[in-house]
Structure 1
């Protein structure tokens, strides 16, 4: 093997190991066994996880731009956004401190940044600038405490148990707001389509890469909650109707 070939092989191997385990790399490219089921599942999970993490950088950008261009977050519930942010932050902190593979949870770090940006813009345009900055400072303090290790991992694990009701409560509030308004306001169809697809893929990756039942259940309910919001976006797609009167 020439030095050029050796260098190319090493480069290829290093790139492949981003997705493959050393065992699976040897299975595929030394033994040339491309039908190994366990390696296929592990490689698919890792590849999906990396794709979700990379894609998450832009998931909520359409929503942020929609609010920025409209200079309003009309139709978006601050309570729903805050509950969503809480769920994401607890989930990310728990996975980070448990040292699970970044491909299994890294997207939530980017989603947290974008979600707090949505909350900030909502307050900035529709409430007050001072409250927007107060919210941001409060959140940065909250997430700093979570990831610092000051909160015992046992407590963070227990908090995962409230993630599901928090997640569902946030979505129910947004669903109800959409129903009362008769439209989905400034909700971005692109953002929720990506969240819907991402949460579906996350069910598979969390099973493969963490095996943590609490993490798996959180992703299952996240998928179901996003499915309901997507259903409303599709239902109201053809136009904006008048707000419904609630007795």
Structure 2
């Protein structure tokens, strides 16, 4: 006949089904222990009979159920009023976790909350000045907040500079055309067209060539989410162009993102972008 004994060791005090102290043991087959702290705990099972005893020790890691803020931040570091601001936050605790952001002007009423950890804050229409961003992590055990100060600078006054028409992108020079739904990163500054690194936007002509189906295309700042509006629309087989002012990425990369959404399976088209000028502070 075997006799099993559990020895439970931890750095702090604990509670068993019966009164217990540090390093206590239990002869129950399935003892219950409640730990007041999180972290690594050691549990040892010892089995004995008239021939002797053997034992095995397992380390149990207990997670803290309370919500905690992991990280919270935003980019760009010096946003201007009217720009999109990327908010990124993480949290820990017992799932499910609810993450949210609450922007508010300093000494003003809170703006609409934004649900999620990694989200975009659209500052279009907001006045320049100081704001706060409150990041909250919440679960059934409670909630915790952290507050970040942020200042929206006044939008820069931009001057327009013309250049000789210059093509910054042409998919026909590559191996494959532009596939429907596949986002492309296009460099808007530097290169052979002479657009300086500090440019904020381009005056451009966008052309979609021989699409296999009807659809639309969007060209937008390289660090932004896809917009709800289209830069141009087209029919199947049509070559269509449109002039547009294309804002560049606000992270200093000078990049654009282009995406074509075309009806039909395995749809594709060619795309070109020609620049005739740029905007610079």
**TM-score interval for Structure 1 and Structure 2 normalised by the shorter chain:** under 0.3
Bigger Rg over Cα: 2
More strand by share: 2
TM-score under structure 1 length normalisation: 0.24
More helix by share: 1
TM-score under structure 2 length normalisation: 0.22
